[in-house]
Every structure is written in C-alpha cells, then in structure tokens.
Amino acid sequence: MRLFDKEKLYADRVLAMDDKGRSVTYGQFNDFSGELYGKAGGKKLIFILCENTVESLLGYLGCLKTGIVPLMLDSHIHPSLLNSLIREYHPEFLYVPEACTAKIEDGEMIWQYGGYCLCKRNEKLPPSLFFQLSLLLTTSGSTGSPKLVRQSSENIDANAQSIVSYLEINENERPITTLPMNYTYGLSIINSHVLMGCTLLLTTSGVLEPPFWEFARKRKASSLGGVPYTYQILKRIGFMDMDLPDLKTMTQAGGKLPPGLHKEFALYAERTNRKLIVMYGQTEATARMGYLPASKSLEKCGSMGFAIPGGRFWLEDEQGSEITKPDVSGELVYQGKNVALGYACGKDDLIKPDEWKGVLHTGDIASRDIDGYYYITGRKKRFIKVSGSRVNLDEVEHLLKEQYEEIDFACVGSDDKLVIFTDYLIPDAGGEILDYLYRVTGIRSRAASVRCVDQIPKNESGKTLYKELETAANNRE
C-alpha cells in the first residue's frame, strides 16, 4: 500500500501518543507488523474490537500493511451481536482488548500486546477473500446488521492522498481523536495523517470531559474533527472561549451541519485565524467525496462544497438522466477511485470482485448552485406524503434545528403522519414547535405530533438511531 511507502523515512518519528503517557514510533510499528504477520499472516479475516488506543491503532495499521483483512467493530459491541457476526463471517482471528475476551465464545489467546489479545478460532470454514479486499466496515448506523462495505487498498490509498492534498496536511500536524476508530471518518483521519508521517494523539476521553482538553493542550493538538452532534456539544461547552493555541484546523462530516451552526463556527475560525472545512462522505466511498474550502465557509454556508481531487459529482433525476441546470434537486452520484468494491451480507460475498466500478449512487438528494457548489437537502428514502405533498423528513429536522439551535430533533413518520421527537423538555414545547412548523411549512398539527425524550439516541459516530426513538419516548413516559 502507498500508505506505508515512506515508512522507512519516518522510522524515528512518533506515530502516536496516548493520554496515559505512552508513545510508539513508526519503526516500532514496523516491528509490531512483523510479529502480527508471524502469528496470523496471510490473506485471512480478523475482527478488531476498536478503541482509541495505541494497541488498537497498531492492530489496524498492521493488518493493512501485511494483507490481513480486518473488520472494524466497536469494543462495546454487545456479545450477542458480535457472535452473530462471527457465525456469519467465520473469522480465523480476533484482536480485542483484554477485558473483551469474555465476549468471545470460541477463541484461544495466542499473543498479547499491551492491553490487547490476539485470539485464534478453531475455524473449519474460513471465508475466501477477493485479492483486492483490504478492509471491512459496517454500514453507517449499523446496529448489528451483517451488511458490510468492502474496501480495497486502492480505495484507501486514493482517498488518503486526496485528503492530504485538499487539507494540505504536512508532517507537523497532530490530530486528536474525537471519533471512533471503527467509523470511516475516524479512519480517514488516521490514514491521511499516517501517509504523511504525522503524530496521532489518542485519547479515550470525549469532548465533554476535561481530561480531553488537558491532553489536547499538553500535546499541542493541531486539528480535530467532528460530526454535527460534536459541534453542537462544542458550542454548549464554550469551545469558542477555550485557550487552544496550537489548534489550526477543524473538520466536519457525518451529516449536514445546520447552517446557523456552520456560520457560527466559520466566523469563529475567521476571527481566530483557523480553518473550518466542512466535508461530505460515506463508508461506501471509503470516506470523503466532497469538501468546502475554508475560504468559502461563510460565502457558501450550508454547502458541502464540490468533489475532492480525483473525484467527480453529478445529479440525476428520477429517470436516471443527468441534471445540468443549477438549483434543481436530484440524486447525488459520485465517481472516483475511492468508491468501494461493494457490499457483503455474508461470508460468501467476500470473494466478490469490484461490483461498483468506481461509481456510487449516494442515495442523497442534493442541488448544485450556479458556481458548482453542492447542497445536500435530504435522503432519497426519507420522504412521506402529507395531504398529497411530499415532505422531506431531513429538511424538517434541519428547519427545526436551525430555529432551536440548542435543541436536538429527529423526524420519522408515514404518509399523513409526521412524528417529531425532541429533547426540548419544557411545558407545551409541542405546541410551540407545531405552531412554528405550520408557519414555515404549512403542515398542520393534525398531521404532526411531538414526543419528548431525555436524549435523542445516537450511535458511536453521532448518527441518529431512528429505530430506537419509540423506545426512548416510552421509557420517558
């Protein structure tokens, strides 16, 4: 992989530092990779239960370097879901935190590195793997679904190189982990910075915890990334008043940032001589597909920009014809070397070749302005009919989040019934919200209802778990 082409030049550089005072160099990573290959080498499937730790990082990168194919999973995955995936995909190895070994029904520990254990399974039916297959990730928002995205080394290399180009990453960058390692956005930060021989700052603390910011200041974090929910939290905790002298870059992806919040952080970046880069991507495209240059953050507020270097966007109407006029919505389609090989729903799919051939129909609805900048307006399947008119559930969410910036919303529904879930816990909140919605959209209260929850349920990457909203509301009631 080109990701490791300059590894010998970087041998003495620090690859990662963690919040416990430990560090590891690129040379030590090379030694680790050799040991891993000696224990599990070859084109084999391994499950990694991820944490933002040195051991987890080395396991992931070691697999990419040696050709072992990892499926990246959250270390907090429920044992029943983990074992269901094991039964579906038949991995020969698992690389897990020592505390997680009890989750494994069938596995013998054959090697330990720090707090992580390599477990070998007595697997009689290991899967056959396509020769270009390098990495497996769960689809966005997955809660135990066996559906995976199949990525190749070319996908990973192409996307990392493109990100390095448009973010202008050099060897002096020090990104701090704000996202899970099993999430495509979190991995893209790792890949692009490893390509340039940077030092990664690893912490298991979150942005709500003081130790996170103490570590960021002490180790001179130069960049951080987040999903929209991260930026909502940053605003709440007074991030814009923090003393962070070494922070230069903020990136955002994982969903559309409400335009009001986008503008606030763009103004903050301009005022403090920092860069805010809003990006767009999906696991199916390895990570990034589009970005909005920092210089356009205010002028094109609300836009996700245009295609990354090496990629191309266009819009298609419902008949599959390309839309050439500006300000007309259609499905966003992307072409580039970072488009993944396809999906897998079981072990027999892991031998499949490249099915997508570099073209991805994203399922997102977007429009393009006269200057060529794209704006995401919703998901293709997130529509209902209300009184005969199509209602985009994502647009309703964005409207409400824009009006009530400190409040979270999630919208679901079926034809003629819109249900709005919110953590707005004041008396008659529902009446206020429905009055506003009617004034702006014309949707009458008889076609909509509001339900309160203590917190909108999210997955580890900040995406709303729509299927859990009803349970959350019932628990509160």
Cα–Cα dist 236/254, whole Å: 19
Cα–Cα dist 53/304, whole Å: 31
| Per-residue tokens: 25 | 């160099």
Q: What secondary structure does DSSP assign to 228-276, as a single string?
A: HHHHHHHHHTTGGGS--TT--EEEE-SSPPPHHHHHHHHHHHHHTT-EE
Cα–Cα dist 403/378, whole Å: 18
- Looking at residue 388, its pLDDT comes to 64
- Domains defined for the chain, CATH in brackets: 2-368 (3.40.50.12780), 382-476 (3.30.300.30)
Average pLDDT by consecutive 10-residue portion of the chain (477 residues)? 91 97 97 97 95 98 98 89 91 96 87 97 96 90 69 98 98 96 95 98 97 98 93 95 97 89 97 98 95 98 97 95 96 98 96 98 95 91 75 87 89 90 88 90 87 90 87 85
Q: What secondary structure does DSSP assign to 371-383, as a single string?
A: TS-EEEEEETT-E
- Looking at residue 142, its pLDDT comes to 39
pTM: predicted TM-score of the whole model, two decimal places? 0.87
Cα–Cα dist 391/419, whole Å: 12
Helix H or strand E encompassing 58 = helix 54-66
- Looking at residue 141, its pLDDT comes to 43
